[in-house]
Structure 1
Amino acid sequence: MAYRNLTKAGFGDQVSYMTGEALQSLEKLAHDNKKFDFFFIDADKENYENYLQYCIKLAEPGALIVMDNVLARGSVADPDAEPKRHTAFMKSFNETVAKHPQLESMLIPIGDGLTLSKVIDQTHE
């Protein structure tokens, strides 16, 4: 679907496509020393922290990492909300992001919650 949509938009030849398990693909990209400036995490919540670590490893300084569903339908922020299946994972993940020394982050309470993180260039600090 991505190939079809990007080709229709005129960008099909500007994108490399990988299929398969996300963690295996990220591991291969890291092994090949690939670097990127944008990441979007919207996958199995149990592996969000693993995806984040790979994104940081693969990131150019100043890269943007966008993470979706970080509020778990409000159950992360609202103590009166009924916990969802991923509430505990997302609470832990949000704490990891907030305290990560390589990230400047902002959680946006829109929809199911988005976090935007900029990867800090620590070589010039």
Structure 2
Amino acid sequence: MSTAMSTVLPSGSGLPALLGIAAVAAALANMVNNLPATLVLLPLVSASGPAAVLAVLIGVNIGPNLTYVGSLSNLLWRRVLRSHHVEAGVGEYTRLGLCTVPTALLAAVLALWASVQLLGV
């Protein structure tokens, strides 16, 4: 998996690279869960510097809110809701995720990029 991921991951700390890294991290987190995604991606981007590492962390923390399986906390949250007889269907969850996750991901990466530009990290 690491070899496949290294071919799709952008390198560098420019805005397009950071957006790409965060998007790949978010997509992978929704496919395999955020913890294994973090373990796969961090070694691959660490050579690109702290901004790339932070972009991965943004992607694997915000991105999993698109699907229930993206994060263990999502699954635990759903279980708590069910224990209180509250249903949050997959369709509703996904619709809300599609409305909020891309915007939050973009805002977080823009803030990261601006911080890198201002602070020179």
TM-score (norm 1): 0.33
Q: Which has the higher contact order (CA 8 A, sep 6+)?
A: 2
TM-score by length of 2: 0.34
Which structure is higher in strand share?
A: 1
